[in-house]
């Protein structure tokens, strides 16, 4: 059952706090995360991994708020990062360097150096060129870099084209047919220590068959690599399990773990999982206020104060997010067909199109569900709109975990060149 639900007074609550209460103190729009839902998501993984030699490295790219990262770190998670900025966040949240995995298709030498200097536990290399670069950087520091090579198993994850990562036409990883050559190169480079194999086939997967196919392919590769003399002790399976946005029926963590257990039985590898969306997606919402309702000839527009710069998923991925009023609708069930749009100066600025919602008026609050992943982290200040605050609720208490910057603060970070200053 969702932690976001109407109470007896018809108010939408996050755990024990009414969203209207938060709005009165923080203003709108804002993101709201449920600590209870985050812990419940983690517990699903913890329960599913019992009996396995396995660990979880939370994928910061889904939601990198320090409070969220620290909550998972305190529960025992490591971190999967794709930039030095995310590395700094993970370290600031108290995650030990040895529990951090550095992924990503384009790591600069300076980033690799920062990771090695910090003592990052594993670097997932994605090309032969990166092997050469990392070897050179590690040599400069006089260290050996523990690596896996991320292989691309050419498996169709059956998800949106922009978030699938395991096909040959995707930029990620080393083609599985070329992987043995890449491992042979790694073995010849003196400053690299091969420890395993990594994969990640995409995001928002709602079926297990792609995992089965990908694991089978990588298992075959591991057998070949060991025969070639490589020490393969770790299998980084990645993340990608989907959540509910509309009417999806994603597999349970228990079912996923059962499949992984079966497909890796006897392999003798420590397993790593890198969930992101599955841990945070349904644990967060975006709350907005209706500015005005604008009837038109062909449709009605409900204009709210959240926009595409705050939540870009509907525009970027044609993504569906369920949207409900923050007050329980009247029991008569009356609805209006409308687009929920923001004030940004773009025709693509919408949160939902052609939705049937209860009649709304200026000042009403609406809640956008399943906004905890790839929401705030992908936001921008387009149209000089301040980034919206993020709030964490835990039981009957809440705190702002990232404040809304003032416009003065936004302007203070910019500079006018000296020759443009008045004489």
Structure tokens at 333: 């069930």
Structure tokens at 288: 């907005």
Q: Is 214 helix (H, G, I), strand (E, B) or coil?
A: helix
Q: Is the peptide bond before 29 cis (omega within 30 degrees of 0)?
A: yes
Residues in the chain: 423
Looking at the DSSP bridge assignments, the partners of residue 144 are: none
Looking at the DSSP bridge assignments, the partners of residue 271 are: 54, 235
User: Cβ neighbours of residue 21 under 8 Å, at least 6 residues apart?
Assistant: none
Looking at the DSSP bridge assignments, the partners of residue 353 are: none
CA–CA distance, 238 with 235 (Å, rounded to integer): 9
Active-site hit among 32, 57, 338, 345: 345
Question: What does the DSSP 8-state code read for residue 164?
Answer: B
CA–CA distance, 182 with 176 (Å, rounded to integer): 10
Q: Which of 262, 268, 182, 180 is nearest to 224 (CA)?
A: 180
57 in catalytic set: no
Structure tokens at 369: 């569900």
CA–CA distance, 399 with 394 (Å, rounded to integer): 9
Report the catalytic residues: 345
């Amino acid at each position: 059952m969702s932690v976001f639900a109407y109470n007896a007074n018809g108010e939408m609550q996050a755990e024990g706090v009414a969203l209207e209460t938060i709005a009165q103190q923080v203003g709108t729009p804002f993101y709201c995360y449920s600590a209870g839902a985050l812990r419940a998501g983690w517990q699903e993984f913890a329960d599913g991994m019992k009996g396995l030699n396995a660990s979880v490295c939370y994928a910061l790219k889904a939601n990198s708020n320090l409070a969220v990262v620290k909550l998972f770190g305190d529960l025992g998670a490591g971190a999967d990062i794709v930039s030095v900025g995310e590395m700094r966040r993970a370290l600031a949240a108290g995650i030990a360097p040895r529990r951090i995995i550095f992924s990503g298709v384009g790591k600069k030498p300076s980033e690799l150096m920062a990771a090695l200097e910090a003592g990052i536990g594993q670097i997932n290399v994605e090309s032969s060129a990166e092997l050469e670069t990392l070897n050179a950087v590690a040599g400069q520091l006089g260290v050996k870099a523990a690596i896996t090579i991320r292989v691309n198993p050419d498996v169709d994850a059956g998800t949106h084209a922009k978030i699938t990562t395991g096909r040959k036409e995707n930029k990620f990883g080393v083609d599985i047919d070329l992987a043995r050559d890449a491992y042979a190169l790694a073995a010849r480079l003196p400053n690299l220590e091969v420890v395993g194999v990594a994969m990640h086939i995409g995001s928002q997967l709602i079926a297990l068959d792609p995992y089965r196919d990908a694991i089978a392919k990588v298992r075959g590769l591991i057998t070949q690599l060991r025969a070639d003399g490589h020490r393969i002790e770790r299998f980084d399976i990645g993340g990608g399990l989907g959540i509910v946005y509309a009417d999806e029926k994603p597999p349970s963590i228990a079912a996923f773990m059962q499949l992984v257990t079966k497909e890796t039985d006897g392999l003798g590898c420590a397993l790593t999982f890198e969930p992101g969306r599955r841990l945070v997606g349904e644990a967060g919402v975006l709350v907005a206020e209706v500015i005005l309702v604008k009837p038109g000839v062909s449709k009605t527009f409900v204009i709210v104060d959240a926009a595409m710069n705050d939540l870009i998923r509907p525009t970027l991925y044609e993504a569906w997010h369920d949207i409900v009023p923050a007050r329980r609708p009247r029991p008569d069930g009356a609805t209006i067909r409308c687009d929920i749009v923001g004030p940004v100066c773009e025709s693509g600025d919408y949160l939902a199109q052609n939705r049937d919602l209860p009649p709304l008026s200026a000042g009403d609050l609406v809640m956008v569900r399943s906004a905890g992943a790839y929401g705030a982290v992908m936001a921008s200040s387009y149209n000089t709109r301040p980034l919206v605050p993020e709030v964490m609720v835990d039981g009957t208490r809440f705190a702002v975990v990232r404040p809304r910057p003032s416009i003065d603060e936004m302007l203070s970070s910019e500079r006018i060149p000296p020759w443009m200053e008045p004489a």
